[in-house]
Structure 1
Amino acid sequence: MVPANHATAPGGGRSSKGRAEAVVIGRTIACMRYLVPGTRNETAQLLISRPNSVFSTLQLFLTSHSLPHAAAFATPPSDRCLDGDTRQPQTLSYAPPLTANWHREPRRSSLTTLQTAMDTRRRRSSVGSGAQTADQALASLGYKSELPRHLSMMSILGLSFAIMAVPFGLSTTMYITLTNGQSVTVLWGWVLVSLISVCIAASLAEICAVFPTAGGVYYWSAMLSSREWAPLVSFVDGWLTLVGNWTVTLSINFSGAQLILSAISIFNEDFVANTWQTVLCFWAVMLVCALVNAFGSRYLDLINKICIYWTAASVIIIMVTLLTMADHRHSGEYVFAHYDASASGWPTGWSFFVGLLQEAAYTLTGYGMVAAMCEEVQNPEREVPKAIVLSVVAAGFTGVIYLIPLLFVLPDVQTLLSVANSQPIGLLFKTVTGSAAGGFGLLFLILGILMFAGIGALTAASRCTYAFARDGAIPGYKLWRKVNKSFDVPIWALVLSTAVDCILGCIYFGSSAAFNSFTGVATICLSTSYGVPVLVNLVQRRKAVRHSPYPLGKTMGPIINVICIIWIVFSVVIFCMPVSLPVDPTTMNYASVVFAGFGAIAFIWYFAYARKNFTGPPVRSGGEDDVITTVGVAVGEPGRGSESPQTNTEKDMK
């Protein structure tokens, strides 16, 4: 049966227009069913009964299913295009991202446009208006979107939560707080650092909401600085961020390797891992994390979400198991008020800060690293700042819930401090449960958190490397900035991050004390990199964040920012201190030496090349007007995705 509004040729047959419309309808329905399996027949019936509304119906279909390019079908082609008019085809320009050219053969033009939408859906999982808006906002900041926007706010929250890895971080640094104050330092030090970390996270979130790019604090420092200081400030902060990301990943995975080997000593108390075994185990952990990032990038969203549930379940299981199986329990006074820093050699008050910073501050450091994932999130100006703050709040509560049961069932402190590899958590679990199997079962939960932390830290480090290389700030940046289209990841930045960490791990062959300083270096670099944009923002009277989606307010904003700066300066000094006195070559804290070494490399690279060639990311030209000046990456060599300074020097910032 022919619909009433179809033209009918003499003899009962359809006209050329009717046949053309039938072809368009048939192919449209087929493409709809391909794009979204299980398309209901009602849609097909609607198209058959109302063929003139085929393109408006298709637009509604694409929009309702969050498919790309719905705007391309906002206006149907003219009837002349369907009834075979022999005149020149009309070119109809619609809203971006597509410009549709309708030819005389309707089935070819409509099918080609639909196939473009299908190819886009297969190639990228970033769909919907949020991704398109984010890409446009990124372009206004001077960059081209090259990574798929497939991560949600919950995924970024999980990534930040994974990098901080609260139970893992507190377990691997427990010997520091047991040396420097025990219960008071362990519990109240954690609470204090958590509160201050919320202030720092809020300060970063306020800026991130205005400048959501993978460059993170490096890019923010340039945007907030004056035109003449932007290249130098961004270069310094970029190297601090890069080294911080690399060394955090290094310290997480290396301490994880030590924790894995400590699991053997649960069953064999005479086992002490040698240097080779430790380094090889570390390389194995790095390899697993790299392979997951390279070949499992499409599953990172799921992995990050699983991390949240794994961590929460692990904390509950450990808490219940320890409290029910312990033979003895300490009093509430011991848990909340016991303080003993006699083993540290430091004065009482100073020992408290040495202990809390080198445990709690190290654990609560990675929240700012997730800013490097801004270009893989839809609506990053809302989701990423929210994830940064919520992850710190969640980490603070998780730490309290995890620490209180440990303190109630804590075995003899001197026995725990005598563990050869400074990883007493396995012995603690074994002692409380009364069996090696029980101790290993609880330790296995911590090792699972380790893998989530290692994968997440390497993800953030590779994105940071990619963003910094994109602006020409790393030697060999033309290679490191490439994005592999098959995996949708910056594969060479991932390779570089993995290789740097594996090479730095070799330092353990020469000096274990020097290598252990990387924990301090990671915290110093990341804390300082967080402080630079906050300080510049204060100096510039917070003009750039005046209209931030997450404002701290005219009164509270400066107060919170000042607290952040004071705390960061204080923590940098503390992290250069040894854990205990007296100091010898084996107990010396070499963090300042290692930090100076990285600084020397950056200094040499700046004056050898970057001083004349590196001009920073696209930066604001200064003044009250919101204008972006695309400075470029290097003279005559704009970065991948950046626009050339010769072709486009000013952009209106939305």
Structure 2
Amino acid sequence: MGQDSGIMLTERSKHEDVSPQKEGTAQDKEDMWRVGRDQELNRNFRFLSVLGFTAVLMCTWEAVLFGSSYGLLNGGKGGMIYTYLGALVGFSFVILSMAEMASMAPTSGGQYHWVSEFAPPGSQAILSYITGWICVLGWHTGIAGCCYTVANMMVGVVAINYPETYVYEPWHVTLLVIAVALVALLFNTFLAQRLPLIEGIILIVHCFGFFGILIPLWVLSPKVPASDVFGSIEDRGGWGNNGLACLVGLTGPIYALIGPDSAVHMSEEIRDASRVLPMGMVWTLILNGSTGFVMIVTLAFCVGNIDEVLASETGFPFIQVFLNATGSVSAATGMTVVIMVMQFCAAISNVATTSRQIYSFARDKGLPFSDFFAQVNPTFTVPLNALCVSLVIVCLLSLINIGSSVAFNAIMSLGTAALLSSYLISITCVRIRRWRNQPLPPARWSMGKFTPICDTISILVLLIIWLFSFFPLTKEVDAKTMNWGVAIFGGVVIVSLGYYMLHARKVYKGPVTRVKMTHQR
């Protein structure tokens, strides 16, 4: 990496020609110059729109509802609450570590860029390359998971409204997944420049929808003693140990909390990114973490007979809980539609994040046909080719075990495991760099002397969660109940390594080759 003085950096920033639509702050120009990239995308996002983007993509209080089958089966009512609390505390360290890295290097590449810049020199290229592929996998399964959830909710709503006439067919869900993904892509194309405004509005719906679900449950559900909830830890998965069962149930709350790095991949569209981006991630943790906790406690008090809700023909325990609590199909439908709309909005944010991830990785020559995927459409000012390939991949994923709750669980755990892997690799690289007292770029948002402790705890937490994300829902498994996420994850890693050895190692050198040294700490 070449040495340049701070004066040269400032002069370069002053004379850089950026159009008014793309212009950011002087610090944004410095950050882009440091990573060796031109400003191609419009910086339309501000703090509230970033907060809306991450909060809605994570959909934490919504996700604790439709991911409750993990906790109810592995932990029961009380175990579900304690598992969520443990996940929230542990994952908070991960989000704080990533927020500081985002402030150091706010670039659409995110984790694979951080690995390339901060990993030991001998392993920068290969580790960065694997991380990039893992992120692409994680975000595509994220889109598929969102669309799959929306599709299944639609089927569940139809099932409770027309129990006598509706006959479920697997292809119903497949077509709905494709339709939801297509509409999300259209949002990210024709309304791309309005996306910050849309995200701000959705944030308001996200907050008001929370109370729209919470209040009916509080008012209408039968009252149960607190001891029946907080004193109840159950192992329905057959693991033989309550503690192990709760660890297996970690996938549910982590799925609800994962995704704070989504805004990182939008960083080249955020004004004053090195300050606004980490602030948005931290406030998302506070907002979503607290509302998710209130919602999961409420669900535990309202769930009633666990066996009944797990066996519900609606496909989701929470829909049956709504139906039991309100005693009204119309009310349960309305409440479910709120969750469905929010999850669709999460799909929109997922599509935006995934396309930027592909765009960034492709411009670094990390993917086949990189020049094609790295193009920014001049009409819409978005990476349209990357958006389209995301749609194709999601359509193909929708064909895997279509119409099966096993497919949903596999997709959910696979996306979680992939993103957790990228967090683990990137935070470990930074921790090693700090341990060796090697310089790091300055961060405008930092935890100061607590950063090494936070990074160490993050790594330990991630190792535990990553391991259990590959576990099946129950101990007794067969071909249908096995969690095949580990096979797909391993397959993608093997394919990426094969492509790297055959071709990519000749063209992929990693973002570090363009990074310019500035005043480091």
Is 1:520 the counterpart of 2:404 in the alignment? no
- Aligned counterparts, 1:271-420, within 5 A: 271=166, 273-326=168-221, 328-355=222-249, 357-420=250-313
The answer as to whether partners of 1:214 and 1:375 remain within 8 angstroms in 2 is yes
- Of 312, 319, 333, 1:426 maps to 319
Query: With structure 1 as the length reference, what TM-score do the two structures score?
Result: 0.74
Q: Cα 1:514–1:325, aligned 2, differ >3 Å: closer, same or farther?
A: closer
Q: For residues 113-171 of structure 1, give each alpha carbon's deviation from its aligned partner in whole angstroms, at most 9, with x where no partner exists.
A: xxxx9xx54xx2x45xx435413420221101100001012111111111111233112
Offset of residue 250 of structure 1: 1.1
Distance 1:238 1:343 in 2: 34
In structure 1, give the amino acid aligned to 2:233: Y
Is 1:548 the counterpart of 2:443 in the alignment? yes
Distance 1:169 1:510 in 2: 19
Offset of residue 411 of structure 1: 2.6
Is 1:185 the counterpart of 2:71 in the alignment? no
In structure 2, give the amino acid aligned to 1:141: V
- Aligned counterparts, 1:375-524, within 5 A: 375-420=268-313, 422-509=315-402, 513=406, 516-524=409-417
Distance 1:407 1:272 in 2: 31
Q: For residues 240-295 of structure 1, give each alpha carbon's deviation from its aligned partner in whole angstroms, at most 9, with x where no partner exists.
A: 11111111111111122111111111212354532100100111110110100011
Distance 1:423 1:322 in 2: 16
Offset of residue 653 of structure 1: 6.3
- Of 110, 131, 135, 1:216 maps to 110
* Helix, strand or coil at the partner of 2:83: helix
- Of 449, 467, 485, 1:591 maps to 485
The answer as to whether partners of 2:94 and 2:458 remain within 8 angstroms in 1 is yes
Offset of residue 614 of structure 1: 1.2
In structure 2, give the amino acid aligned to 1:368: D
- Structure 1 stretch displaced more, 541-550 or 498-507: 541-550
The answer as to whether partners of 2:42 and 2:269 remain within 8 angstroms in 1 is yes
Distance 2:274 2:256 in 1: 26
- Aligned counterparts, 1:628-643, within 5 A: 629-630=513-514
- Structure 1 stretch displaced more, 329-338 or 449-458: 329-338
- Of 96, 99, 103, 2:15 maps to 96
Look at both structures and tell me which one has the larger radius of gyration over its CA atoms. Answer: 1
Distance 1:278 1:344 in 2: 30
The answer as to whether partners of 1:344 and 1:579 remain within 8 angstroms in 2 is no
Offset of residue 546 of structure 1: 7.1
The answer as to whether partners of 1:545 and 1:551 remain within 8 angstroms in 2 is no
Offset of residue 651 of structure 1: 5.9
Distance 2:317 2:518 in 1: 56
In structure 1, give the amino acid aligned to 2:92: V
Distance 2:240 2:506 in 1: 47
In structure 2, give the amino acid aligned to 1:432: A
Offset of residue 407 of structure 1: 2.2
Offset of residue 305 of structure 1: 1.2
Is 1:607 the counterpart of 2:501 in the alignment? yes
Distance 2:176 2:26 in 1: 43
Is 1:565 the counterpart of 2:459 in the alignment? yes
Partner of 2:510: 616
Partner of 1:89: none
- Of 557, 580, 586, 2:474 maps to 580
Offset of residue 469 of structure 1: 0.5
In structure 2, give the amino acid aligned to 1:313: F
Gaps of 5+ in 1: 1-93, 99-116, 620-628, 632-649
Partner of 1:251: 145
Q: Cα 1:95–1:267, aligned 2, differ >3 Å: closer, same or farther?
A: closer
Distance 1:138 1:653 in 2: 15
The answer as to whether partners of 2:49 and 2:197 remain within 8 angstroms in 1 is yes
Q: For residues 417-468 of structure 1, give each alpha carbon's deviation from its aligned partner in whole angstroms, at most 9, with x where no partner exists.
A: 1124631222211111111001111111111111111101111011111110
- Structure 1 stretch displaced more, 404-413 or 307-316: 404-413
The answer as to whether partners of 2:130 and 2:493 remain within 8 angstroms in 1 is no
Q: For residues 491-528 of structure 1, give each alpha carbon's deviation from its aligned partner in whole angstroms, at most 9, with x where no partner exists.
A: 11111111111111111249763563121111111011
Is 1:532 the counterpart of 2:425 in the alignment? yes
Q: For residues 19-57 of structure 1, give each alpha carbon's deviation from its aligned partner in whole angstroms, at most 9, with x where no partner exists.
A: xxxxxxxxxxxxxxxxxxxxxxxxxxxxxxxxxxxxxxx
In structure 2, give the amino acid aligned to 1:96: H
Offset of residue 566 of structure 1: 1.3
Offset of residue 472 of structure 1: 0.5
Partner of 1:111: none
Distance 2:336 2:502 in 1: 48
Distance 1:198 1:221 in 2: 21
Offset of residue 533 of structure 1: 1.5
Percent sequence identity is 25
Distance 2:109 2:16 in 1: 25
Distance 1:505 1:598 in 2: 17
Distance 1:409 1:511 in 2: 26
Distance 1:653 1:470 in 2: 27
In structure 2, give the amino acid aligned to 1:604: G
Q: Cα 1:597–1:95, aligned 2, differ >3 Å: closer, same or farther?
A: closer
